[in-house]
Amino acid sequence: MEPLTGSVSQRPGPRALRKLEGVLVTLSVCCILGICLIITVTIFARFLFGVSIPDDVIMVRELMIGAVVLPLAYVAAERAHIMVEVFTCHMPDHWQPSLNLLSSLVGSLMLLPILYGGYLDFESVAADGAYFFGELNLPEWPGRLIFLVGYIVFILRLLVLTGEDALTVVRTLRGRSSTSSDEG
């Protein structure tokens, strides 16, 4: 799959989805900064005063969910996710749109069970009012909600890419058929 080139406004899909992806990336950056802050304060507090931040490990673990999951849709829109091109880079260029379509379609289908599991997990934790056992008794639902929102937007982006890739394949096939009929 080839990465999309151009500015953010040229990414495919509705403008609202592009804006939402930008907000989620910003929240992801905030999660990373929060992780850095918690770890730094914990290290200095332990070193200087012999105390630690209560439930620091839980907070860092939950912020990692946001740091990893929230930018997934943006990364997919830029086609900057990890991919294996061992075989596809050796295929003809006119196959690339079909390979992009296949990867978008398979990716969105493979993520549906993860989304469903995330929904069930969030629903269970929210209904039970579950919390982490620690000094602060932090609720579990915020991390589950972040995971769920991140994957919903990720799948929406993959579905948009699937539609765009399907249109590209159709245009490519029409272009090839009109070129071959002109030659004949």
* Calpha distance 125→51 (Å, rounded): 31
With bands split at pLDDT 50, 70 and 90, how would you rate the model's confidence at 80?
confident
Q: At what angle do helices 56-69 and 15-49 cross, to 10 degrees?
A: 160
With bands split at pLDDT 50, 70 and 90, how would you rate the model's confidence at 6?
very low
| Per-residue model confidence as pLDDT tens digits over 24-70 | 999 999 999 999 999 999 999 999 999 989 999 999 999 999 999 99
Note the pLDDT of residue 4. Answer: 42
| Per-residue model confidence as pLDDT tens digits over 130-149 | 999 999 999 999 999 999 99
The predicted model gives 157-176 an average pLDDT of 90
Q: What percent of the chain has pLDDT over 70?
A: 88
Note the pLDDT of residue 10. Answer: 65
Does the pLDDT at position 95 exceed 80?
yes
Note the pLDDT of residue 182. Answer: 57
